[in-house]
Every structure is written in C-alpha cells, then in structure tokens.
Amino acid sequence: MILVSSCLAGMKVRYNGTDSLDVHIQKLVEEKKAVTICPELLGGFMTPRPPAEIVGGTGEDVLNGTAKVVESSGNDVSEMYIKGAYEALNIAKEINATLIVLKENSPSCGSAAIYNGSFENRKIAGNGVTSALLKREGFKVISEELISEIFLHEDM
Ligand code: SF4
C-alpha cells in the first residue's frame, strides 16, 4: 500500500485551506492503491492555520531538538510537528507502506526541499519533520514531483 499526503489527493487541508491536487495521486487513492495522511492535522492543527517554517536546520534537526518549527508569528510549534510525524509513522507501519509520496517543500512533508525559516520564500535542501522520521525508520519517501515522472514511464 502507498501512503500519500492528503493535500496531494485533493483534500483542502493546507494551512490556507487549499489543496495541492496531483491527478496521479488522486487516481491512486480512487483505485484504493493509496491511503492519505496529513501530518499537521494528525499533530493537532486545524485548517486554516498560520504558515510555519523550520528555523535553524531541517526536519532531522527538529527531531534531534536542535532546530524549531515556528509560525510566522514566532510561535514555537515543534512539538505538534513531532507528534504528527510519529502519528504518520504509526500509520505507515500499520499499512506496511511500500512507498510514501509526500508534498514537496512542506515543513512536515518536504523530502528534498523545505523553506529556510526566513518566511521570504527561500528554500534549502532538506526533509520536513515527518519525512525525516519516516526515512530514518527505513521507509521510501519521495515527492509528487518524482511520482509524476514514474507515471510517465509505467502503469502503477
Ligand atoms: S502537512 Fe503535508 S499533507 Fe498536510 S497539508 Fe501540509 S503538505 Fe499537505
């Protein structure tokens, strides 16, 4: 079974109440080949919610306690991000996820790039908190940008 970000399947769960629909991901869910998670909702957030970025490092650093996830107001929400990551990990284990496709650039779901904490639309290489934990636990995590390429080359 594949695990995917809820917003990629068309659910309006992003911080600003929108989705990040990817038709390939939506198709996987419709065909019951994938199930959805939103780590931020699993961590206790509501939609809409303030935007947040990782300050002082990457998702691995947040898990290690050396970086923080903060809202644009400066409010430290690291604990909720870490809770959401562990809830996502529990689900990944329950369904024995063979592939996890998460939304790029998110402080939870990014798996190649995240925003740098300046709230100036600047990105750095790195994982969000959930992707960092899932990779650390041995799961294969990719972004929607890669699965779109896979769809072009094979029938999943
Ligand atoms: S936490 Fe992940 S699934 Fe939830 S809205 Fe953000 S990018 Fe999408």
Q: Whose CA is nearest to atom 5 of ligand 1?
A: 14
- What pTM was estimated for this model as a whole? 0.96
CA trace torsion 72, 38, 89, 56 (10° rounding): -10
The reported pLDDT for the residue numbered 5 is: 98
Q: Is the CB of 87 under 6 A from ligand 1?
A: no
pLDDT of 150 over the 80 cut: no
Region 8-37 average pLDDT: 97
Does ligand 1 come within 6 angstroms of the Cβ of 5? yes
The string of pLDDT tens digits covering residues 29-71 is 999 999 999 999 999 999 999 999 999 999 999 999 999 999 9
Nearest atom within ligand 1 for CA of residue 20: 8
The CA distance from 11 to 13, in Å, is 6
Whether ligand 1 lies within 6 angstroms of the CB of 108 is answered as yes
* Tokens encoding 25: 């991901």
pLDDT attached to residue 69: 98
Q: Is the dihedral of CA 89, 104, 113, 69 positive or negative?
A: negative
Query: What is the secondary structure of the chain as a DSSP string?
Result: -EEEEGGGGT---STTS-----HHHHHHHHTTSEEEE-HHHHTT--SS---EEEESS-HHHHHHTSSEEEETT--B-HHHHHHHHHHHHHHHHHTT-SEEEE-TB-TTT-SSEEE-SSSSS-EEE---HHHHHHHHTT--EEEHHHHHHHHHHS--
Between the CA of 3 and the centroid of ligand 1 the distance, in Å, is: 12
In sequence order, what are the residues at sequence separation of 6 or more whose Cβ sits closer than 8 angstroms to the Cβ of residue 97? 1, 2, 3, 91, 139
How many C-alpha atoms does 3 have within 13 Å on its Cβ side?
A: 24
